[in-house]
Structure 1
């Protein structure tokens, strides 16, 4: 009898034990918790107010790496340097690429018309692939399935639990997609919206929109470039300029004042990914 009780205790401990997971950014935490539920502990590397381009983990976060079972990578810049170091620190930790199966888009750069010739040319060109894959519901579906596959493999005893959570989360993703399409239904395909940092390329691609970046070579535009941007925004009837809390919005504020439109601060790093996308869709459509 004692052996049976001990076996049941050990079995329940195994079934209900949590998997320690580390993710790079907050949206990932939302996705992992949606699929993993109560059976996962999730730590985030890039906390609010920081940029994944230049982030360096704190010593306390390295402790989380040391005890992690899984690391969910999503392709943000700091991972290139730090993932090998994380692996050196914790050789048993598995690194899972959540972007597997996603077609990456080029990182969009600012374009403008030549001052004297009038022909269009690239100021910076497409220098790299856009890491902001989670700004598209279609990509979030793929990410969610990748999370499920990793959890089911790491914890097969709870595979059905993760499957039920995945199905529920996919339904929520689909509902977000339907709402966005309804909001954007009345605006023509190819409609443009202006952003300081080009973080919404996948969102634009999925819904037939075009994002117009304000920054030039990763920097605020010079006065001459700013004048050209204001003219372009006026011609395209831009209704708002999107900026991120992680970047200065001085140039955007100047443009908005001249155009009498709003500056909307929205971060692609917010954990409220669905609310973020719906708010962006409403602003693009001119809905308050």
Structure 2
């Protein structure tokens, strides 16, 4: 993974550019709501998933700056001067946690942030990572792929918003209650979709190991990944490539699924060698990201519905 050193002085470079920065471009209300007013709570959210959760729970009463944009790999993210400024002026910083935002602590220090950092993963049962994967020593950070984990995340966010802005606590509580019902429906719909697929056909090969919580929740068999790691910085050796092709052939796996935030070339090559379909393009899975804002896949619910529809269609075909 690339590393950078950010200094507090960099924040001053953003004073002129902040108005058109990528981070400020993510400062919007929840879909369908009014633009937050000047008194709205300033919140920085690190990833697209966390930002979507904050928008849904905060509604008109929060102004969200989303750091990582759609289809950007969070594992290799480098903070910008605009990110430093946004963090420095926020009241809350909400992160995914579990070591996903390895750049965040240094960026917070550089920004002189004095508010509250909210770890949305608190209370989630974390899957252990590969003992040899030092970059993901905290465990598997892709917690949101189980909707029940997402319920824990939004509850953590609601509590933090209410503590920072008690005057709107009833609205935050109503929003989290309503959204929890939608997460339960997503979970039930996913289970029903996979129930229609014979257990012997529920085999998954993806770009990288991002779907462990999803695999566990819906009882799939994870055959392997093109990048043999929870982190996207790892590289597939020639022997690992050969072994993955052999596993695909031996298990009767039907497809290799690409991911929206990763190049598809290696996945395409492996699928061709194994003689199976490669699922990509508009059907690429949202493993580490969401779609573009304003599209159905630009929300957590829409992206997860997309993933399940694509996976079940390919496995049933």
Pairs aligned (count): 259
1:236 and 2:246 aligned: no
On the 8 A contact 2:209/2:228 being kept in 1, the answer is no
Q: Give the structure 2 partner of residue 195 of structure 1.
A: 206
User: How high is the TM-score relative to the length of structure 1?
Assistant: 0.80
The secondary structure found in structure 1 opposite 2:181 is: helix
Matches of 1:17 and 1:189, distance apart in 2: 52
147-156 or 277-286, larger mean C-alpha shift = 277-286
Pick one of 35, 39, 46 that aligns with 2:57. 35
| Higher CA-based Rg | 1
Q: Give the structure 2 partner of residue 257 of structure 1.
A: 272
Runs of 4+ aligned structure 1 residues displaced above 4 Å come to: 124-127
Matches of 1:125 and 1:68, distance apart in 2: 33
1:277 and 2:277 aligned: no
The secondary structure found in structure 1 opposite 2:74 is: coil
Q: Give the structure 1 partner of residue 286 of structure 2.
A: 267
Change (3 A) 1:23 1:257: same
The secondary structure found in structure 1 opposite 2:76 is: coil
On the 8 A contact 1:53/1:77 being kept in 2, the answer is no
- Any gaps of 5 or more consecutive residues in structure 1? 1-14, 110-123
On the 8 A contact 1:220/1:251 being kept in 2, the answer is no
On the 8 A contact 2:127/2:213 being kept in 1, the answer is yes
Offset at 1:101? Answer: 0.2
Pick one of 214, 222, 228 that aligns with 2:226. 214
Matches of 1:42 and 1:204, distance apart in 2: 31
**Residue correspondence of structure 1 range 81-96 to structure 2 within 5 A:** 81-87=103-109, 89-96=111-118
Matches of 2:243 and 2:207, distance apart in 1: 15
Matches of 1:216 and 1:79, distance apart in 2: 20
The secondary structure found in structure 1 opposite 2:72 is: coil
Matches of 1:173 and 1:35, distance apart in 2: 13
Pick one of 129, 135, 158 that aligns with 1:107. 129
Pick one of 191, 198, 206 that aligns with 1:181. 191
The secondary structure found in structure 2 opposite 1:196 is: strand
Q: Superposition RMSD on alpha carbons, in Å?
A: 2.5
205-214 or 148-157, larger mean C-alpha shift = 205-214
Matches of 2:256 and 2:176, distance apart in 1: 35
Matches of 1:96 and 1:149, distance apart in 2: 10
- Any gaps of 5 or more consecutive residues in structure 2? 1-36, 291-297
Change (3 A) 1:234 1:78: closer
Matches of 1:66 and 1:207, distance apart in 2: 41
User: How high is the TM-score relative to the length of structure 2?
Assistant: 0.74
1:156 and 2:175 aligned: no
Offset at 1:51? Answer: 2.2
